[in-house]
Amino acid sequence: MLLSMFFVTNISGFPMDYYIGRVGLAVAHGPYSEAEVFFRMQSGLIDDSCLAWTAGMEKWRPVQDVINATMRTPPVPTKKSTKKLYRPGAPESFRLSRSKLENYLKCQRCFYLDRRLGIKVPSGPAFTLNIAVDELLKREFDIFRKAGKPHPLMVENCINAVPWPDLVNREEWRHNFTGIQHLHGSTNLELFGAVDDIWVEENGSLIVVDYKATSKAQEINSAEDIGGWFEAYKRQLEIYVWLLRQQDGCTVSDDIYWVYANADKKKPSFNGRLEFDLTLIVEKADDSWVEDALLAAHACLESRAIPEANADCKHCKYFHKASTVFNAKGGSNLL
């Protein structure tokens, strides 16, 4: 059997987890972590004909035997990932952000790979201009919050409310890594999410508000004008509504608002500035689905099996295509 026994180490000098080879293959592939090997097996990039070796093994063994043995017990994450990866049956609570719950709703497989195995989907670039608009709108509404007066946009739209004064005492609710938090007793998941703003009506009911920035030719006056992002945007605010309702002493309105800043790109020149039209979009929230979503996400995380690929997920489509190419080339170039 021709199989290389020459192994490399990572830059810290310590061996990595697994090397994958085949009979007749001169050079082994790797090193791969356990999660990477398991994911490649599930994706078809490593098949049953492959062999595996890791430190402490006397000889190469079928990859299925090696990995299946490790999957019989909960994975032990590294110190770096201890606070990020879910461990089935762990006694401590697990923090789950609003965006991660949204990821579950979009694709259970990608959610599982991320939160259980630490394999993240590729991320897009940060929308820094949108972040700047958010920050400036927060400062603007905070001026009226401090004065106890409604913003002109609220007056224009006959909103009988003011920016909630108590939000200044709960600044962590606006921070991405803290946000509004609630420990869900049935699952031990600590759901959290950061709001842009909260307004308060005369009767004390709180209204969840989100800032959005874009640049479209048409005016943005309704949900239809938002387009394909609307459902995700609505779920985002419904999670915030649900989180607020779990807080002691909070009465929360079903009304949810978007302050939309639409940049005007029809100007004859830039002149070092963008001009935005502000509009207010009002919808009704229904947060009744959040409880069931948490229960389902928890069941997914507790499972020992990776969920099936989602036909509508672009990342699942990519790995399916990669697997097809792998098999067509005999499986030797994509390990």
Domain boundaries, the chain: 128-293
Decide if pLDDT at 183 tops 70.
yes
Report the alpha-carbon distance of residue 174 to residue 199 in Å, rounded: 13
* pLDDT tier for residue 68 given thresholds of 50, 70 and 90: low
Cα 216 off chain centre by: 26
What pTM value is reported for the model?
Answer: 0.77
Report the alpha-carbon distance of residue 143 to residue 26 in Å, rounded: 69
Decide if pLDDT at 38 tops 90.
no
Decide if pLDDT at 70 tops 60.
no
Percent of residues, the chain, with pLDDT higher than 70: 84
Q: Cis omega before residue 31 (within 30°)?
A: yes
In sequence order, what are the residues at sequence separation of 6 or more whose Cβ sits closer than 8 angstroms to the Cβ of residue 92? 188
